[in-house]
A and B are shown apart, each in its own frame.
Chain A
């Protein structure tokens, strides 16, 4: 069995979850439970623990629940602001913002984070040190032409303080624990795209949401990554499990013959095409949900460096039950080959059964979340419950 990044997960407090533990995690972890029980929150907690001093990781964690891959820009304004999104990662009691408390049995140790709403005068440029990040302002306010920066104008902001403590047995590895990082963020802040501070405290991670495969542009950009890391053929192999007629994947710029296009002639973005045996190139836009989902899973898996974590929300989405086994076999093998730990949520018994069929007992754990607690069922017990007794385990 591979050495897994997260031996366990303890959520002291995160979003609506309190005192929830995933004990003795496996290489492959399925998370089940009713709607709104906190399955996605568990994935978000893991995501945050993978790089807790990286502002981008905090923002990405907020983004997991947004519909941005749809590029549904018309309605995006109805969502939470960036700072509100960050604030709602924290547990709330009335107007009080509580602490986030997480621990993962990993090299990251345990995390404690606080958030405080502030009012202040931001600097024009972002200031980054080993201990803090103070955001500068965007040149223009989000969504307007109004100039954001002006002298001595107060902004509403959010002050995040993140502290990592060592877990038992970690002192020798990280003698400088505890470490604290502070982030001062503004409503019109410009974010930070530079190298994350203290990047030794990072576990590679990628996340597939239930809807992110529906953005054509997102898929096309992901193929670029697959090409760069030399994994296009692996992705094609996965797609062939859904449709054996698929031969290749290509990125191309489509011919512009639509006079109503809002884009200047010849300026269409590159589009992803699937090459079929006999039919030729077909744009991904016309493909069914299952193929797009499978392609997306191949993309996110390629993003994770060996020793990292893959998080998949609703792993069965888009796929017919008859192909789940083939797709899961591919995912499990790919994760095993690259020593990647998998956490996936599902609502589907067929998905549980398919994962059982493709995973060794000692690698698989199922957690059922109910009333704020996680019930652990190991691979052997799960196999017996499902295969011998045909029981409901969700």
Chain B
């Protein structure tokens, strides 16, 4: 029997990272709606534009298919939307999936704080005893707080570690340049809007990752680089503890 797993992640980069790890577990991305497991068809958007916004990205999940399981990975665009997106999506499916996985960034908060926030919004699910674990009740549910269910950080924290293994020269070069930049330097960052993202706690890490991604895939987004390059598929990258833990979390939800 086909096992269905629903993942919701905080942003498109996380979605792509999960996709990469799912590929290592034998799943292939579904591009054609004809090949989509009909179970997920209700999650495919049918109208455009959404709320009249012509520029808004179509919020379609990314689907993956293997012989024995199929997966939808939804981007919630922010931790505050995770529970709403999950509840709305699961309510619209004809029956609950076998497992529900949530992947969020710790940012500058503690992992347990983030974990508790997710639990408070979705009290009907058994998320196990701690971040990174899965509950035993159906549907099995778990929350993975990036980077490692303990430390502060984001998805880019993991990508940076992967990059240090897989693209050491590029990461080193990008660091040399970006670490020297001072977000308070008004001659570089002229407007508040130019400064505010770089000045965030994860601003420099994200910039380093994005700089390397733009060397590997000039003019494209980080998620395209994750998809096309070796950030999360190289053997060395997969052996990094944070990546191995995330892969184990995904595997636990996929396995019967």
Residues of A participating in the B interface, judged by any CB pair closer than 8 Å = 349, 368, 370-371, 375-378, 380-382, 384-393
A390 close to B92 (CB less than 8 A): no
Question: B42, B46, B50, B87: which contacts A387 (Cβ < 8 A)?
Answer: B50
Of listed A381, A386, A388, residue having the most chain B CB within 10 A? A388
* B91-A391 in contact (CB<8A): no
Residues on A with beta carbons closer than 8 Å to the beta carbon of B51: 387-388
B68 located at the interface, meaning its Cβ lies under 8 Å from any Cβ of chain A in the complex: no
B100 smallest CB distance to A (angstroms): 15
* A98 to B108 alpha-carbon distance, docked (Å): 63
* A–B Cβ pairs within 8 angstroms, 21 of them: A368-B94, A371-B94, A375-B91, A377-B92, A381-B92, A384-B84, A385-B89, A385-B91, A385-B92, A387-B51, A388-B50, A388-B85, A389-B59, A389-B85, A389-B89, A390-B45, A390-B58, A391-B43, A391-B45, A391-B92, A393-B92
**Cα A319 to Cα B94 with chains together (Å):** 29
Question: Which chain B residues numbered 41 to 59 have a C-beta less than 8 Å away from chain A?
Answer: 41-48, 50-51, 58-59
Question: Chain A residues with Cβ under 8 A from B46's Cβ?
Answer: 349, 390-392
Residue B192 at the chain A interface, CB threshold 8 Å: no
Q: Which chain A residue lies CB-closest to B59? A: A389
Main DSSP-derived SS at the A contact region: mixed
With A380-B84, A387-B50, A387-B51 already in contact, the answer to whether A392 and B91 are too (CB < 8 A) is: no
Do A384 and B88 touch across chains, with their CB atoms under 8 A apart? yes
Closest chain-A Cβ to B229's Cβ sits at a distance in Å of: 30
State how many angstroms separate the Cβ of A170 from the closest Cβ of chain B. Answer: 29
- Whether the Cβ atoms of A391 and B44 lie closer than 8 Å is yes
The CA of A242 and the CA of B46, in the complex, are separated in Å by: 27
Residues in B neighbouring A349, C-beta threshold 8 A: 46-47
B149 smallest CB distance to A (angstroms): 28
- A residues less than 8 Å from B94 (CB atoms): 368, 370-371, 375
Give 7 A-B pairs besides A390-B50, A391-B46 with Cβ atoms closer than 8 angstroms. Answer: A349-B47, A375-B91, A375-B92, A389-B43, A389-B50, A389-B88, A392-B42
CA distance A392 to B44 in the complex (A): 7
Q: How far is the CA of A391 from the CA of B89 in the complex (A)?
A: 9
Chain B residues engaging chain A, CB cutoff 8 angstroms: 41-48, 50-51, 58-59, 84-85, 87-89, 91-92, 94
- The answer to whether A377 and B91 have CB atoms under 8 Å apart is yes
A384 and B50 alpha carbons, distance in the complex (Å): 11
Given A375-B94, A381-B92, the answer on whether A389 and B45 have CB atoms closer than 8 Å is yes
A349 CA to B41 CA in the complex, in Å? 15
Residues of chain A lying within 8 A (CB to CB) of residue B58:
390
A392 CB contacts on chain B under 8 angstroms: 41-42, 44, 46
**Distance between A73 CB and nearest chain B CB, rounded to angstroms:** 43
Query: For B45, what are the chain A residues with a Cβ–Cβ distance below 8 Å?
Result: 389-391
C-alpha gap A329/B51 in the complex (Å): 19
- Chain B residues with Cβ below 8 Å from A378 are 91
Q: Are A388 and B92 in contact (CB under 8 A)?
A: no
**Contacts A375-B94, A384-B85; is A390 near B43 (CB within 8 Å)?**
no
Q: Which residues of A contact B91 (CB under 8 A)?
A: 375-378, 381, 385
> Which residues of B are found within 8 Å of A370, using beta-carbon distances?
94
A381 near B88 with CB under 8 A, answer yes
Q: How far is the CA of A393 from the CA of B44 in the complex (A)?
A: 10
When chains A and B are docked, how far (Å) is the Cα of A115 from the Cα of B208? 77
Selected contact of B42 from candidates A376, A388, A393, CB within 8 Å = A393
Residues on B with beta carbons closer than 8 Å to the beta carbon of A381: 87-88, 91-92
- Residues of B within 8 Å of A393, CB to CB, are 42, 92
In the assembled complex, the CB of B103 is this many whole angstroms from the nearest CB of chain A, namely 19
**Least Cβ–Cβ distance between B90 and chain A, in angstroms:** 9
Provide the residues of chain B in CB contact with A380, threshold 8 Å: 84, 88
* Chain B residues with CB below 8 A from A375, complex form: 91-92, 94
CB distance from A350 to the nearest CB of B (A): 10
- Rounded to whole angstroms, the CA-CA distance of A376 and B92 in the bound complex is 8
Shortest distance from the beta carbon of B208 to any chain A beta carbon, whole Å: 33
Report the minimum CB–CB distance from A270 to chain B (whole Å). Answer: 46
